[in-house]
Structures are given as structure tokens and as C-alpha cells.
Structure 1
Amino acid sequence: MMACHVSRFGLVGIALVLLAGCNSPPRSPAPVETRSVMGRTPVTAPAPDLSAASPSSRVMPGSENAGKPGFYTVQRGDTLTRIALDHGQSWRDLASWNNLSNAHLIEVGQVLRVSPPGATLQTSGVVVQPISPSAASEPKVTSAASPTSPPAATPSVPAVNDPGLAFAWPATGAVIGAFDEVKNKGLDIAGQAGDPVLAAADGQVVYAGAGLRGYGNLIILKHNNTFLTAYAHNQSLLVKEDQQVRRGQKIAEMGKTDAERVKLHFEIRRQGKPVDPAKFLPVR
């Protein structure tokens, strides 16, 4: 009798529990866990930033001056130092004329002033537009004379603006690479590591560093508004930017930075265009 009594109470308890379960509020569905497939967790790509303007729709700085004399449109691979060298200027001047707060940040398509503000670019009836190898689309040198007039003869040695400017050899070694307008924009002069490199004329250091690809440790001197000289592949540089130097002063030591052998690569640039140094140096 006792066992039956207990069983009845047990059944009653079970029934009450079931009824309580039926009357309880519904539960929220269990969170679904995203599982990896084959041990890899799926990666969702971020949504594209549709607010960024397309490069083709941007108006580049200085674009209103594109194609004008004294301005240059930046090409892929350009640096401010390269543009300055190709136009016979100091990179610091270019940065100042174009209000560049960071000279390392220039953009393809940006138009830069490469001649002094207010400077005239016309000399002896010829409009001088500096030529850059990377700017094939830039305006060419145009003559103010009639198109049917024959071009004026080019002297074998262009006149030097400063009567006191005369170039000297920057090193004593033999010439191992002659000037070529396409393949070699200067003279290559042999020597030993550490041989002195001398300033070819009085001037101001407008660049001293290794930021121009293909030139290694490089010094550029500005002699006047017409002529620059460049001294490349040096082992060490002995002068700093803005320093004034004298003709024959030791400015570097010969080396082979960014070159296959020890040598001095020497350039003379007339209004930014490479010219044959042999035509300006004394015969030896």
C-alpha cells in the first residue's frame, strides 16, 4: 500500500512539472555559431569606399598652366631632384616656387613651375623650353622666325653667360665613356677609389645626396642661370647643399656607388639640357 501511494504522488509531481513547462514563456532562439569550413574562417571583404574620388576626375594642382612655357607636367617615375636637374634649377627653388611643403610628395599629372616667377624665356628670337627625356609630350623649342627661315647655326661651343666662367677638368683620369645624347649624358672618367673629385667651376651646391636613381652619391653645382655641373658615383661627399665652392676645390672622393666600376660620371647641363663636356673643357 505504501508503494502505491508513493507512485501516485510521483506521477502527480511529474504532471505538475510538465504543466509548468507548458505555461513558461517561450525562449529566444539559440544563437547560431558560424563555423569554419575545413579549418578556414571565412573572410568578408570590406565594402568599397565610394566616397573616394576617381583619379581621372581629380583636378591636379597647377593644371591651369599645363603646356605653358616655364611649366612641367609630372610624369611617372619623376622626382623633384630629377625635374630640377632636367630644367637647370635647384630642387629647393622648385619647392619654393610651387609652395611644396614636402618635396617628396609630387603626383603624376601635377604641373610645376620650373622657371623663376617673372622670368623671360625668350632669347635671341628663340623661345627656350627646357627638354626632359621623360616628357615627350611637352612643347618643343619653337622659333619666333618665319617657318620658312632656315634654322640658325649652332656654335660648337655655346656662349657662356658669365665671361669669368671657365670649366676645368673635375678629375685627372682617362675618359672611358664619351658623351652620347641618348646613352651617356656626360663623360665617364676613370680613377681609383678615393681619388679627388674637383669642382669644374665656381658655384653653389644645389644638391648633395643619393636620391637620384642611377647616379649614386651625387653632387650638383649651379654656376649661373645657364649652367649646372653634376658629379656622380662618388664614394663620399665633402660638401653640403647651399655651400659655395671654388673652381678646383675638392668636393668629393671617387667611388662606384650605383655603378659597375670606380669612375666619375661628369655632366654639364646648359639650361637643363645635357651638352658634351668635351666642348667646354680645355684640351689635354
Structure 2
Amino acid sequence: MMAIHPTALVDPKANLDSTVEVGAYAIIGPHVSIGAGTKIAAHVVIDGHTTIGKDNHFHSFSSIGGPPQDKKYAGEVTYLEIGDRNLIREFCTFNCGTVQDRGITRVGSDNWFLAYVHIAHDCTVGNHTIFSNNAALAGHVEIGDWVIMSGFSAVHQFCKIGPHAFVGMNTSLTQDVPPFVLLSGNPAQAHGVNLEGLKRRGFSRDQLNAIRQSYKLIYKSGLTLEESKAALDEQMLSLGADAAAQVKLMRDFLDASTRGIVR
């Protein structure tokens, strides 16, 4: 049976699975849908047109599904979508999207969001990410799978961070971060490949060597960005399929970047 504390305010129009737990003084709005096994701790607020998957855990004082912090917002119906098995710690804020963009903020599955993390309107966050305390995304940011955002890191609007990147503590990002890159500082600077993270995730020696060589072509060769792209294309011709796929991920990211990469 659904376990709802008697002091919680759950709108009768909200759609909660029968296994959802709702703590004391939590507030859940009428357009909220919450999947099986999700736990809502005391004093959490979930509002807006928000859809939440299964087995998530929201800790106290999180504010989820609030309107976007955008002066252009005029009360339009926009959305927040959260996947499965996410951990959301105290005082996190996730906002709905805006009609000026896709109209939806999306958060994937198996992510950890530690205290005071902010996910702004129209952001897309992948799977298996870690956001340490006070990490913050401005609007329209895209975060790939397995990205780690260290404490007090911040990302400017419309930036993209590729899969498996590692962003160090207190880093301020105003440009895109290619996959696999480890960086830190204010302004941000690249400091190599996130090798430890890749090893933990089972990347092979051939894949790691290919990624390291790609990083050198982009950051250490003295080539222009266009020359680096051509060098990556040539590199892929000499690699096996698994290693070439990682180089292609970096190569495609360079083409997709709209703000330029940290370099």
C-alpha cells in the first residue's frame, strides 16, 4: 500500500504508484506522475508537469518541477522528465523547460545528485552521472553519460559535455567539453584523459590508447581544430572497430559543438 504521511499534501489528481512513499510535509502537485518504489522524504516539493520513473529517492527540501528561472517564461505548460534509480539529495532544484527551446528538461537514470545541485530549464542529463555538492547547470545544457561534475562546478548556457568527461572542483565552463576529457580551473583547462574512470568502466587497452592518441591530436599536436579533425579521420582507418568507435565519438562531438571546445 502507498505510504503517505498524514501531514503530506498530495493533490488527488497526482498519479502515484501504489508503492510510492511520501514523507511528512511533502507537497505533490496535480500534474505529477511518480513510478514504483520511489521515496519522497519530508518537506520535498514536486510540482509542474513532472514525470518521475521508478526507484528514485528524493531527500528533504528538494524542489522538483518548478517553473523555469527565465524572464521570458509566461506560464506556458512545459515539462520535466526524470528516469529511474536516481538519488537526489537535500536542496536540489530541477526546473521545467521553456517554449523557447524543447519545452522539457530531461534527466536520465542511475544518476547521483548531491546537495544543492541545480538543473535548469531545457537541460538534458544522461545516465550514470555524478553531480557533487553545488554543481549547477544553466539553461539548455547537455550532459553525456558517465560525466562527473565536481563540487561547485558551473556550466554556461547551451554548453555540451561529452560522455565520460570529468569536471574538477570550482570549474567554470563557458565552452563545450569533448568526451573523455579531464579538466579543471577557472577559466577551464584540459588536463588529459579521464583514464581512471575509463578503466573502472572496463575500457580495453586498445580503446584507452586510441582515446589518448585522439586527445594528443586535439590538444598537444599544435594542429588547428580542422586539422585535428582530419587527423582523427585518418587515425580511425588504422584501428579496430571498438577503438575506432571511441575516436568517432570524439570526432562527431567536435562537429556538433556550437560554442567551441575548451582548448
TM-score by length of structure 1 reads: 0.28
Q: Which has the larger radius of gyration?
A: 1
Q: Compare relative contact order (CA 8 Å, sep 6+) and give the higher one, 1 or 2.
A: 1
TM-score by length of structure 2 reads: 0.29
Structure with more of its chain in strand, by fraction: 2
